[in-house]
Structure 1
Amino acid sequence: MNETLSPNPEGQPKLHNGMKSKTLLFIGGVLVVIVALGGIAYFASKQKSSETNDNAINLGATTTPNYTIELEPEVQIKDLAPSLERGIHFGASVPEVARTAIQKNADVVLARLKKDLNRADDWFTLGVLYHSANDYEGAVGVWEFLLKVVPAPGVSTAYDNLGKLYKFDLKDFPKSESYLKQSIQVNPNSITAYFELHELYRYLYKQNTTLAVDILVSASKKFPANPDPLVMLGGYYRDTGDTEKARDAFTKALAIAREQNDVAHVESIGEELARLPQ
């Protein structure tokens, strides 16, 4: 994939083309940092003012700009939360300039969390910062924690991030598949995990099955007003030499784009059709 995903857990990603080098976009309350580390694009929570929720009364559910933490009455968040004192364990390949920027963002986020552990957006951002530092253990710890305390559908962001982490970085494809399937279960209105599963099946795992096609067919039925699943399906058939199926998928996608008055998609899909062998 070659995209940066929206911070909104309900948002849908732009269409991507293949598994290329990735850029991470971190959006924080103090600084925007773009760090090219050869990782993958993760959801980063948009932080609003640093004062948000500082005076919130803890009633077991605290809402931050994008996410909510909910706990059973007898559960204390401090008993579940990862340690904020562990520090960032930078990978050897992370350049110094990136380390400085990541640490600066992390210091701001950690300071807020030490005041209020219920700041769900800051936890999501901390996981992204750990990942950008190649601190995969730290990232997993944060996102696994969020699975326990963030309700659906927002928790799908953590499932998506874990699915990508295990797909691209830790190379545990069964775990990646499991997390992405759970993302669909908790947030059926997000198309993100469908695309992630397609790329997993197409390039890395269970490649001798029809799953790469099946997941896009499922996505096209679930999101009939979105042409992207059919565009991706057309690209799959184009690349595997099945011109007729590629033409059929692109043609159906073009019809959807026209219905949606999506000029950009109409143009790009038309170009795809024109490039197919006659």
Structure 2
Amino acid sequence: MSKIFFAIIFVILLIAAGNFYVYEKGYLVDWFGPKNEQTSVEKLLSFEVKDTMLSADYVQRFQGQFENLKSKLQQNPDDFNSWVTLGILKKTVNDYEGARDVWIYAGQIRPKSSSPFANLGDLYANFLNEPAKAEENIKKAIENDPNDINFYFSLADIYRYKIPGKEALYEQTLLEALNKFIDDVNIISSLASYYRLTNQTEKAIQFYEKLVKLNPDNETARQDLEELKQQK
């Protein structure tokens, strides 16, 4: 084969590798388009205080924190922790769309991390009113870190309070979590309360008995259990 042929193959492979790098790093750009990596990052490095109730002192303080994060990220756009922190800062000043974009980016440069997806789940559920996206992101957080019990509670609450028609998945999610986190007092307490509030008396008694056995000093649980037994 000719040297020209090998040169062409090399260029094709180089371009393919470059495109893979862009995807893996999460840069929202196309090398052959009008944008580039820097403009994509710079677009995220803006700061707008949307909370009109903040005092001037707090605005100045948050602005200073932003400038510090911006400097770090301009020097190292792959600084994952700073991206996550920037999202938190944007959320703090009510820039929810800005926080969303930053955490999406953080999830792209670290797709195996749970943090950006957990933050997105909370943001979509409680601030942007997009429960389907909240469910999707919390599930991704669980996939990445199945040992964080808080994610299961978040997913269960999304089903119970945010997605009409999926309320029954609250129970299912917590029962699945209980199979993983055996005898976890918080899960058992949540299920006991859920069964009591939904008038599932037998199940409520069963779980309150488990709760009292695990935590004998819980007087509130004891009182709830006695009341349930009197209803039978």
Q: Normalised by the size of structure 1, how large is the TM-score?
A: 0.63
State yes or no: 1:274 paired with 2:219.
no
1:84–1:228 Cα change, 3 Å = same
CA drift of 1:274 comes to 2.0
Note the residue ranges of structure 1 that are not aligned, 5 or more in a row: 1-70, 258-264
Asked if the contact 1:106–1:129 (Cα under 8 Å) also holds between the matched residues in 2, the reply is yes
The structure that has the greater radius of gyration is 2
DSSP 3-state at the match of 1:170:
coil
Tell me which residue corresponds to 1:239: 197
Tell me which residue corresponds to 2:140: 182
Deviations, residues 205-248 of structure 1 (Å, cap 9, x unaligned):
13564111111101101211522211111121222233432221
Correspondence 1:15-30 to 2 at 5 A = none
1:236–1:93 Cα change, 3 Å = farther
CA drift of 1:164 comes to 0.8
CA drift of 1:86 comes to 4.5
Correspondence 1:132-211 to 2 at 5 A = 132-152=92-112, 155-207=113-165, 209-211=167-169
Asked if the contact 1:202–1:212 (Cα under 8 Å) also holds between the matched residues in 2, the reply is yes
Larger helix fraction of residues: 2
Deviations, residues 49-103 of structure 1 (Å, cap 9, x unaligned):
xxxxxxxxxxxxxxxxxxxxxx998349594563267421222434124323322
Tell me which residue corresponds to 1:91: 50
1:185–1:79 Cα change, 3 Å = closer
Which letter maps to 1:273?
R
Structure 1: distance between partners of 2:163 and 2:101: 25
Note the residue ranges of structure 2 that are not aligned, 5 or more in a row: 1-17, 29-39
DSSP 3-state at the match of 2:41:
coil
Larger strand fraction of residues: 1
Instruction: Compare relative contact order (CA 8 Å, sep 6+) and give the higher one, 1 or 2.
Output: 1
DSSP 3-state at the match of 2:21:
coil
Identical aligned pairs, as a percentage? 28
Tell me which residue corresponds to 2:207: 249
Correspondence 1:86-125 to 2 at 5 A = 86-96=45-55, 97-125=57-85
DSSP 3-state at the match of 1:82:
helix
Structural RMSD (CA)? 2.7
Asked if the contact 2:212–2:221 (Cα under 8 Å) also holds between the matched residues in 1, the reply is no
Correspondence 1:2-81 to 2 at 5 A = 74-75=21-22, 77=25, 79-80=27-28
Asked if the contact 1:220–1:227 (Cα under 8 Å) also holds between the matched residues in 2, the reply is no
Asked if the contact 1:198–1:213 (Cα under 8 Å) also holds between the matched residues in 2, the reply is yes
Structure 1: distance between partners of 2:116 and 2:223: 39
Structure 2: distance between partners of 1:193 and 1:217: 14
Structure 2: distance between partners of 1:236 and 1:85: 41
Q: Normalised by the size of structure 2, how large is the TM-score?
A: 0.74
